Amino acid sequence: MRKKLFIAILFISVGLILALIGLMSGYSITPVYAASFIVNSTTDAVDANPGDGNCTTSGDVCTLRAAIQEANALAGDDVITLPAGTYIITIAGADEDDAATGDLDITDNLTINGGGSDSTIVDGNQLDRVFDVFSATTLAGITIQNGEVNDPSIFTCGGGGIRTNSRLTIQESAVVNNATVLSTGGGMCIATFSDVIIMNSNISNNDARGWSGGGISSIFPANISLVGSTIANNSGYYGGGIYSSSGPTVLSIETSQILNNTGRGYGGGVYFRASNVDVTSQINILASTFEDNQIPGDGNGNGAGLAIDGQNISAAIQDTIFRNNSSGVYSGGGIANWSDNITISLVGTTFDGNTAVNSNGGAYWSEADSVTLNITDGTFTDNSASQYGGAIYSNNFTDTIAITNTLFTNNAVSVDDSSGGAIYVGSPVGYLSLTGSTFQNNEATGLPSSGGGLTFASYQGTADISSTIFTANSAWQGGGFTNYAAAGNIYITDSQLTNNSATATGGGISHAAGSSTLDIKNSTVSGNTARDGAGINALTDTVLTITNSTLNNNQATEAGGGISFSNGTVTLNNSTIANNTADSDNNGSGDGGGIFSSSTGTMTVANSIIALNVDSGGEAPDCIGASGTLVSSGYNLVGKVDGCNWTAVTGDQTGTNANPIDPLLDPLTGSPAYYPLVANSPAIDAGNPAAPGSGFPACAATDQLGTSRPVDGDGDGTAICDIGAFEWADLSYVYLPLVIK
């Protein structure tokens, strides 16, 4: 108790001493309090005596201009209450910073609270911009409209509605119908490094007539955060909705809408540019919508929805929709990127109905260096481009693309020589990973065209495609998938290519470039149609390896129902080629229901079934080849060897048209689909007896389902692998001891 009393007396004594010193020296010690003003007049008039603490004009009212002048003159964080009404700027005189004429200059920390954006309106009357902000400011519950700036240079930060040089927060407000004649930022311009936060607000119908950022422009590094807001119907040359330049910059868009903005150059909705090589700039977009943004037909740029330019950028876009954005001249209806050293992550994002009318990448377009694109749980539907990549076009020098659990449907390219109905990857050095994804009803409709679902044209690229479905896609060549990678490596595993179509060659797959390698494992190629090579067509000097896979029910109007190849090297192991058709139109032209080989290509076959295929003319139902083009490495079953020029070796079972061998297959089942063997199939325990997995021509270590080989299928006590893609096991040979307790 005594201690507390002593402390109280001490504080009182110190206070009295300070007061006494102040009186003796002629000064008073006055605490600084924030000022609060309530505007009671909609007229535009200056304060009679700025700094006296009274918001009073010569007419004895408190105007918005007078309140701002008082707030500027008084230190501290001040507050202005602005009731419902329309406050029109009528005092002309731009380019002064005392809030005496023209725009309303804010030079000290200030909050302006309006009565709601639908009822409290501050109107620039096209005399000047509305607000010029030089200190931390919050604008809440107001509409800012009809500001106009006529600066002489396109590089000037104009800001028809607002120009800010400091931290700015806009809440529950609207910035509408403002303009710049030449300078940037029709609605708002950020002039220096600042934090700008826009919450639950509307930036619309603003115009940067001569340059950039119709809605918002930042010409210096800035942190811009948009939450629950709408950027709509704005226009500018770069960035119809938002233009963000320089770096390091952070642009965050959350639960917001970027709608119907027009960029006559780059970025109809948003143009993000960052060029700082030392610090990573960031784009973060969450649960937002980019819709109906455009670059018109007379424009000159890319990226109708979002354009990204510069280097050293990280872009994370999640649960966001890009819909009906249109690039009328160049590329990237949804997103365009030409930034080096960038990582773009798209998670749960939808691209629907975006178009690159006269170029590439209906949904996404990119040409740069060192680009990483990650897409997870996405949807690309009804996007279109004229030439390359109806959904995605990527032609970066060094490219890494990983796509997981994503749907591509009804995307298209349309002109002659077009390619990649859904995806076109043309990088000189590229890597593509596709996992658990589906390509359906995509098309390349030009003549010629290639890759209804996907075209991989990387010169030295690698593609890993696993657990992915290509179905009902179409093109002139390569209905499902086309590989043009001259020296690349393509790996397809646990995947399905079904019911795709090509007018010319390669209904399922066209493998048509240089010395590139295509390796297909544990997959199904089924129900595809083409003139030649309905399942797979391999051309030039390509290398094709097929293991543990099933090719069935593919139909060629001419040659090669299952596979057609020429001038290449094909290796077939533990695969089943059955029920495919050549000469499906029965016009007498075309052979090789299962396999068609030219005189210069070589196919080496081991442990495989080639049977039950059809040549409508009957000459070469299972295979046809010139001498030396079909080479057996043993332990194969060929149902009808007529026309194959086949030299049987150890373990081969071959029939003829007159005396065919039936492999006894059960109906097709599973996904990827396969043919089980019937219990007494001649393929059971008839494969190479060498240790499976010890290298070709030994059997593969597992079958198409992943079952380990060998299994003792016939119960004779010796396990030998089966011929074909399926390893059969009769569980009746497995005896469990009866335990009696």
419 close to 412: Cβ distance less than 8 angstroms: no
Q: Distance (Å, rounded) from C-alpha 630 to C-alpha 619? A: 17
Q: Which residue has the higher pLDDT, 730 or 343?
A: 343
Residue 594 pLDDT greater than 90, yes or no: yes
The residue-averaged pLDDT of 446-457 equals 94
Asked if pLDDT for residue 100 goes beyond 70, the answer is yes
Q: What is the pLDDT of residues 648-664, one digit of tens each?
A: 999 999 999 999 999 99
Q: State residue 702's pLDDT score.
A: 97
Nearest to 478 by CA among 487, 490, 467: 490
Calculate the average pLDDT of the chain.
Answer: 91
Q: CA-to-CA distance for 707 and 140, rounded, in angstroms?
A: 66
Give the contacts of 250 (CB within 8 A, at least 6 positions apart). Answer: 222, 223, 224, 225, 281, 282, 284
Higher pLDDT, 328 or 443: 443
Give first-to-last CA distance, the chain, whole Å. 84
Tell me how far the alpha carbon of residue 342 is from its chain's centroid. Answer: 13
Say what the pLDDT of residue 26 is: 39
Q: What is the pLDDT of residue 211?
A: 84
Check: CB of residue 165 under 8 Å from CB of residue 192: yes
Beta strand pairing call for 536-538 and 576-578 = unpaired
What share of the chain in percent tops pLDDT 70? 94
Other beta carbons less than 10 A from residue 529's beta carbon: 23
The pLDDT tens digits for 128-161 are 999 999 999 999 999 999 999 987 777 789 999 9
Residue 342, C-beta contacts closer than 8 angstroms, at least 6 positions apart = 308, 311, 312, 313, 314, 315, 368, 370, 371, 372
Most trustworthy range by pLDDT among 5-9, 180-184, 477-481: 477-481
pLDDT tens digits for range 282-316: 999 999 999 999 999 776 779 999 999 999 999 99
Nearest to 382 by CA among 393, 390, 373, 392: 390
Q: Is the pLDDT assigned to residue 267 strictly greater than 60?
A: yes
This prediction has a pTM of: 0.92
For 15-65, the DSSP string reads HHHHHHHHHHHT---------EEE----S----SSTTSS----TTS---HH
Q: What is the pLDDT of residues 339-398, one digit of tens each?
A: 999 999 999 999 999 999 989 999 999 999 999 999 999 999 999 999 999 999 999 999
Q: Once rounded to an integer, what is the mean pLDDT over residues 478-491?
A: 91
Q: Distances from the Cα of 86 to the Cαs of 62, 64, 77, 373, 487, in angstroms?
A: 14, 11, 25, 49, 69
Strands 438-440 and 462-466: unpaired
Tokens matching residue 234: 């704005």
Question: pLDDT above 90 covers what percent of the chain?
Answer: 80
> Judging by DSSP bridges, how do beta strands 223-227 and 195-199 pair with one another?
parallel
